[in-house]
Amino acid sequence: MTDRDREATGFQEQAAYDESIDLRTDFVMVYGLNDTTAQRIARWREAGYRVHLMTGISWGTYQDYLDGRWDGSGHWDDAQTAADGSPILHGESTDIPYMVPTFGFTEYLLQKLRPVIELGVEGIHLEEPEFWARAGYSAAFKREWQAFFKEPWQPPHSTPEAHFRSGQLKQHLLSRSLDRVTSVLRDEALQQGREVRFYVPTHSLLNYTQWQIISPESRLRILPSIDGAIAQVWTGTSRTPNVYAGKIAERTFETAYLEYGIAQDLTRGTDRRMWFLHDPIEDHPDRTWEDYLANYQRTLIASLLHPGVSRYEVAPWPHRIFNRPYLREGSTERQLIPPDTATSYLIAMNTLRDLDQPEVRQTNEGPRIGIALSDTAMFQRWSPGGESGHYDGLQDALALEGREQLHFSDFYGLALPPLYDGQRVCPVQLENLIDTPDALDDVDVLVLSYEFQKPLAPGIHYALAGWVNRGGSLLYVGNGADPYHEIRSWWTGRYESCADHLAEALGADRKRDDVQPVGDGRVRFLPSRPADFTESPARAAELVAAIRELAEAGGHTWEPTNWLSVQRGPYLIGAVLEEAGGSQVVEGTYLDLLDPRLGIVRRRELGPGDLTWLRDLTYDDVPLLASAGRIVDWHQDDTTIRFICEAPRGVRVTTALRVPKEPANAGDLDVRYDGELGVLWLSHPGEPGGTHIHLEL
């Protein structure tokens, strides 16, 4: 029963309006620029939505620009190009390359987007500004190199320095293009008396680094015409395998938890909006319905454990969820979505509008562990052997050449050990320290390494020194073996590595391997390679011991646990960490929001890898508990409850209400009633225009 003004939930769709994909969210992002765009926008608006537009900023159906129909000149030299001279294509397409964001391509995008403003959209989403780390060999990129660095182009994979500088240039070009498109269009909209907001849907910094892609990331906080972002975290990104305790495995929940964590820093502390994306299907078309649902729930619960965000993109492409067949476990036959799965998805999507809760309680009150992650990690994704594999979520990662680099063990070696010890671990965007005074206010112990990333400015170290002096605890991990320490940058020629400048700023001795007091805080330099902590349980425990020592020196109590959970108003969200072992018992009186029947839970024992999302029935006395539909026009008095329930056509809707007695008349609805709890369950077919419910009590 929330209004649409907050735009708490939305989805993106390129298909024409259809009642089977009308999810009844607050807004819809009509996808793509073509001859049907205006008609699709009008139809979704007619269905009651606030309407945005989404299109790719780095790729799309831009063949008229590439083949010369746009301005009389071909522009295939603007395509991102690999070392062998081949264009890098999007997905399985043969004529949609990733683009170098030259001035010419940026002006083309402006011209394509201008007419959209006149269509009255409220927001424009420029998605996935992406430049592949293995790119950088096109004629356009070589010209941009000469203009930016004022020296001849170098093959990006020829040296670590050339690759790092290539990454810097790629980020600059993407940021420049975004800045121009959004600034010009915003000004032109204002001249027309319109106000249009601009957002950037983007993968997490963690995923882009892992997949070896360059993106603006931290720059999105400072581009003046950007109003926010969508954190594109989903099963396809989060099931990318990594290594913990010597074992290579998909860790969808833990990876998603870390991905959503770093994504918050794109808007944290600003007035810009952030939506977390969930994807009930993912891009891989050959998995089963059971696999899709299980991994969707892993990313869903991972996102809900971050209470700082309460807006969500509930799905990309609902047409592929509700109208495409996929496999079932144990069968070779493809089937449309199982009814219970559809209901389960919709219960989650509709409950997400209620996650902006004023009362939040963490069940683990231990130290908050930050893992520093910099944009420059994207610039260091380089394999000395040249090509280091290409992965975008559609291949078998375990069979991929160069998969050891794909694991990104330098980061996961620092993040997974304390996470599997049950601590609140969250990546921290290193660049934010420069201009955000409170960037580390929610961190008690910060883990930092320069073996896979570098500080772009010495000011980062002065900010760190101030934070440590005020009581923070810093663990620096590194043995100085990274070849990128030798690149030309602000520290070279004066310091052996950037870590030496960090020690100087702290007033600490980098050669000591013990806890050193710094003002009211402390620092320890651990001379190890971060990836080493992925090798075995013993190495993971070694890192945990070092972090714990600093936390306890700062006065924090460290309690190992296998349980991550948070209470957001009436909602209990939790997960048992699979590789931590053991179980967790939840007791109370709850409604199970992951159950399509919305069953009652009084006691549940959760084993390794189990997840839960429950509504506490004792928390309040509100009448509407949960529904797979959107409830509007609610009216209640002593004898009657009336409302309208909106849902996609073709699904089965379950709604749970709190009522004092079983209704005397519920019409054609399927009804269950628990007299002890006063809970009524209603069931009926979905109807986008609304099913009118009238209950006589």
Question: CATH: 3.30.420, 2.60.40, 3.40.50, 3.40.1350. Which one for 368-547?
Answer: 3.40.50
Tens of pLDDT, residues 448-461: 999 999 999 999 99
Beta strands in 380-439 (DSSP E): 424-429
> Is a pLDDT exceeding 90 seen at residue 364?
no
Tens of pLDDT, residues 638-659: 889 999 999 999 999 999 999 9
- Tokens representing 162 are 């050339």
Q: Encode burial over 158-173: b for 16+ CB neighbours within 10 A, e otherwise.
A: ebbbbbbbbbbbbbbb
Is-above-0.95 flag for pTM? Answer: yes
For the chain, counts of helices (H) and of strands (E):
18, 33
As a whole number, the mean pLDDT across the chain is 94
> Is a pLDDT exceeding 50 seen at residue 462?
yes
Tens of pLDDT, residues 504-553: 999 999 999 999 999 999 999 999 999 999 999 999 999 999 999 999 99
- Return the domain boundaries, the chain: 368-547, 563-616
DSSP helix/strand/coil, 438: coil
Look up residue 661 and give its amino acid. Answer: K
- Candidates 355, 371, 250; CA nearest to 311 is 355
What percent of the chain clears pLDDT 90, i.e. is strictly above it?
90
What percent of the chain clears pLDDT 70, i.e. is strictly above it?
97
- Candidates 222, 229, 130; CA nearest to 170 is 130
Residues 294, 190: Cα–Cα separation, whole Å: 45
Three-state secondary structure readout of 100-142: CCCHHHHHHHHHHHHHHHCCCCCEEEEECCCEECCCCCCHHHH
Strands 334-335 and 326-327: antiparallel
Tens of pLDDT, residues 426-446: 999 999 999 898 999 999 999
Q: Encode burial over 54-67: b for 16+ CB neighbours within 10 A, e otherwise.
A: bbbbbbbebeebbe
Name the DSSP class of 323: S
Averaged pLDDT for residues 317-341: 96
Beta bridge partners of 313: 10, 277
Distances (CA, A) of 445 to 408, 423, 456, 511, 528: 22, 11, 22, 20, 18
State the pLDDT confidence band at 398, using cuts at 50, 70 and 90. Answer: low
- HSE-up of 343 (CA within 13 Å, CB side)? 21
Nearest 5 degrees, angle CA 533-CA 218-CA 464? 60
Pick from 122-131, 344-353, 379-388: least confident: 379-388
Tens of pLDDT, residues 44-83: 999 999 999 999 999 988 999 999 999 999 999 999 999 9
State the pLDDT confidence band at 598, using cuts at 50, 70 and 90. Answer: very high
Tell me what pLDDT residue 524 has. Answer: 98
Tell me what pLDDT residue 21 has. Answer: 98
Residues 31, 126: Cα–Cα separation, whole Å: 10
Instruction: Classify residue 207 as left (phi > 0), alpha (psi -120 to 50) or beta.
Output: alpha
Tell me what pLDDT residue 386 has. Answer: 44
The number of beta carbons lying within 10 Å of the beta carbon of residue 592 is: 18
